[in-house]
A and B are shown apart, each in its own frame.
Chain A
Amino acid sequence: MTGTGVGPELITLENVVAGYTHHPVLTDVNFHVHEDQFTGIVGPSGAGKTTLLRLLLGTLKPMSGKISASKDLRLAYVPQLETVSWNFPITVEECVLMSRKSANQLPWASKSEKINVGNVLERLSIGELAKRHIRELSGGQQQRMFLARALLRQPQVMLLDEPTSGVDVATRHDVLHLLADLHEEGIAIVLTTHDLNGIAAHLPHLVCVNQRIVAAGTPAEVMNPDVLEQTFGARMEVLEHLGMRIVIDESPTGSPMRNAG
């Protein structure tokens, strides 16, 4: 899997400082999203992962620095599952239809729009759930529905906030493979995660964030005790197993504890 970003640049952040109500959360951020990128943004809670995502999305203006994006860039955003009310009175089809690109604001979708939604749902193997209420979906199916909603916009870049937060191991594998497939089809993917072993170690490119960009590179380059300590503020040990990095917390007594993530 490629994805370290060598294609044309789609979004560029130069010397960006950003935050909320005059308090910078991120400083001196230089970040590029390329056409073939598949990047995980890792860091502890409050490190600025979502702030970085919002800068890339264009929903947060920087306090200083420059953000540029290629002309007519098609972006799609997949939020955390818990950001919406799953009791909202809509079906899976209605939810996906919300993101249709046309200027059609009217209550009903056109026949071609419905066909497009059907195709996207089939592609993500949830076609038979189209008429179900969204509350009736499992965590994995909810994530697939969000991905379908994002794919309907035919994005060049897909940005995901903690896509495996709160899902079981099987669903996590499922989502990771889906994202790998989408990346293979030519969609640049940037996601945030705090799951070092379950997600980050499987990605081709990582950016470690803690109020600034601490390090960027492949897991082999950045998943080492020094970078992880700078990022998470705690000493961790790193093992290698079948070519994969495995992070282990150091307990207060000095003996290692397996990283929960």
Chain B
Amino acid sequence: METLLEPLQYAFFQKGLFVASLSGALLGFIGVFIVLRGMSYIGHGLSHSIFGGFAAAQLFASSFYILGAGIWGIASALAITAVTKRSRLGADAAIGVITTASFALGVALFAKFGTSGPSFENALFGSILGISSEQIIGLIAVTILTAAFVFLRYRALLFSTFDPDVAAVSGVNVSRIEAMLMIVLSLSILATLTVIGVTLVAAMLVIPAVIARMLTDSFSRMLTYSTIIGTFCGLVGMYLSYYAGVPSGTMIVLVGAALFLLVLSITGARGLRRSAGLDSHTDASALAPLSR
């Protein structure tokens, strides 16, 4: 017990523990919609795209780089949706082009001009110790916004995730819900980027939701389980990060991966059957027109 309490005497660890747990909870919560829509690749792409936004925004307005990166991320998400819907380009291709180009631009800008905000490595792998009070307030605000969005638009979100064509006919503005989900996703990635890092944030969008899907056949329980699992990964990952002396994001993701293996070994074939079909990169039914 003393071993567990020992790091809590440090203010930086208390802050880190809170931020890591909240980040895990947020990504686990919103990740349910991303995973069930088969949009895991969008999460991966957006985190890289926002990295480009970080670099570009610092060049023009170093004090507002978070805002700039957020706008960049949201614009990328909406661009992916628009390009996919209005052209024959598949969503995978659109994500591949838009987000990797944005990431490459970010790397080029960092290399050429350096940075006045978070360092290159911090942005890539996360640095929970470097998080500011403003960023913590931003994380809390995004968490509240995300929870309110899901709560107040629950039926529309569920309907458009399961069956977007019928949802559209039944009075759900599917395009608007998708755009709002993309905005909330972008903000969630942005708020957790400095905690977990560009390269690992997509994993935390996916792992808790997939574990939760293996444990239950109920959507509402999946939301609850995924949030709890995300929180658990953040909490335990932060502790292990302290003792092992490795970046927090890395340990959070490794705890998630270990939990995945544990649940897989317990649930076996039933868990695999439940999680079948979650592996498509894009939500073809939502993005592509109906067949003729």
Q: Are A48 and B165 interface neighbours, CB within 8 A?
A: no
Residue picked from A99, A104, A106, A135, most chain B C-beta under 10 Å = A99
Task: Name which of B156, B159, B276, B292 has the most chain A CB atoms within 10 A of its CB.
Answer: B292
CB distance from A51 to the nearest CB of B (A): 5
Contact stretch, chosen from A2-10, A74-82, A117-125, A222-230 = A74-82
- Shortest distance in angstroms between B228's beta carbon and chain A's nearest beta carbon? 16
- A59: B residues at CB distance < 8 A: 165, 168-169, 290
Counting CB contacts under 8 A, is A61 at the interface? no
Is the CB of A235 closer than 8 A to any CB of chain B? no
Contacts of A48 in B (CB 8 A): 292
Residues of chain A within 8 A (CB-CB) of B170 are 76-77, 98-99, 153
A21 on interface, CB distance cutoff 8 Å = yes
CA distance A95 to B88 in the complex (A): 31
Is there a chain A Cβ closer than 8 Å to B3's Cβ?
no
Q: Name the segment of B103-111, B189-197, B210-218, B229-237 touching the other chain.
A: B210-218
Q: Please give the distance in Å from A53's CB to the nearest CB on chain B.
A: 8
- Please name the residue on chain B nearest to A87 by beta carbon: B277
For window 124-147 of A, CB contacts with B under 8 Å fall at 133, 135
- In the complex, what residue of chain B is closest to A132 when comparing beta carbons? B217
Which of B42-50, B147-155, B250-258 forms contacts with chain A?
Answer: B147-155
Q: What's the dominant secondary structure at chain B's contact region?
A: helix
Contact mask for chain B residues 139-178; partner A; CB cutoff 8 A; 1 contact, 0 none: 0000000000001111110110111011111110000000
Q: How many residues on chain B are close to A (CB under 8 Å)?
A: 37
- With A48-B292, A91-B218, A107-B151 in contact, do A79 and B276 touch (Cβ < 8 Å)? no
Whether B289 is near chain A, meaning CB under 8 Å from some CB there, is yes
**CB of B271, distance to nearest CB on chain A (Å):** 12
A243 part of interface (Cβ distance < 8 Å): no
Contact between A89 and B218, CB atoms less than 8 A apart: yes
Report A-chain residues with C-beta under 8 Å of the C-beta of B133.
none
Interface centre among B36, B163, B218, B291 (most CB of A within 10 A): B163
**Are B154 and A105 neighbours in the complex by a CB distance under 8 Å?**
yes
Q: Is the CB of B217 within 8 A of A83?
A: no
Min CB distance A133 to B, Å, is: 5
B contact residues vs A (CB 8 Å cutoff): 36, 87-88, 151-156, 158-159, 161-163, 165-171, 213, 216-220, 222, 273-274, 276-277, 285, 289-292
Q: Which residues of A contact B (CB under 8 A)?
A: 20-21, 25, 45-51, 54, 57-59, 75-79, 83-85, 87-91, 94-95, 98-101, 104-107, 133, 135, 149, 153, 161
Q: Could you list 9 A-B pairs, sorted by A, with CB under 8 Å? A: A50-B292, A51-B292, A59-B165, A59-B168, A79-B165, A88-B36, A88-B161, A89-B217, A105-B154
